[in-house]
Amino acid sequence: MDDIKKSKHEINLRESASGQRKSASGLRESATVEWQAPAFRYYQKDVSWYWTSFIIAILVMAFAIWQKNFLFAIFIFLAEISVLILARRQPEMVKFKIDEKGITIIDKTFLFGDLEKFGLRADEENPEGKQASYGAGKNFEELIIKKKTHFNPYLKILVDAQIASQVKEILSQKLIEEAYEDSLLEVIFKWLKF
Please, are residues 163 and 97 in contact by the beta-carbon 8 Å criterion?
A: no
Q: Is 59 or 156 the better-scoring residue by pLDDT?
A: 59
Confidence tier at 165 by pLDDT (50, 70, 90): confident
Please, are residues 55 and 63 in contact by the beta-carbon 8 Å criterion?
A: no
The CA-atom distances, in angstroms, between 46 and each of 31, 49, 50, 193 are 42, 6, 7, 10
Range of 53-57, 128-132, 152-156, 165-169 with top mean pLDDT: 53-57
- H helix runs in 89-183, sequence order: 164-174
Domain range list for the chain: 33-41+92-191, 47-88
User: Both ends of the chain: CA-CA distance in Å?
Assistant: 65
Please, are residues 159 and 120 in contact by the beta-carbon 8 Å criterion?
A: yes
Region of poorest pLDDT, from 71-85, 132-146, 163-177: 132-146
The CA-atom distances, in angstroms, between 79 and each of 23, 71, 73, 83, 94 are 51, 12, 10, 6, 28
- pLDDT tens, position by position, 31-72: 788 888 888 878 788 899 999 999 999 999 999 999 999 999
For residue 45, report the phi and psi dihedrals to the nearest 5 degrees.
-115, 135
What confidence score (pLDDT) does residue 9 get? 37
What confidence score (pLDDT) does residue 136 get? 47
What confidence score (pLDDT) does residue 155 get? 86
* Residue 125 pLDDT greater than 70, yes or no: no
What confidence score (pLDDT) does residue 16 get? 35
Does the domain spanning 33-41+92-191 belong to CATH 2.60.120?
Answer: no
Q: Model's pTM, two decimal places?
A: 0.63
- pLDDT tens, position by position, 65-122: 999 999 999 999 999 999 999 888 888 888 999 888 889 998 898 888 888 888 888 7
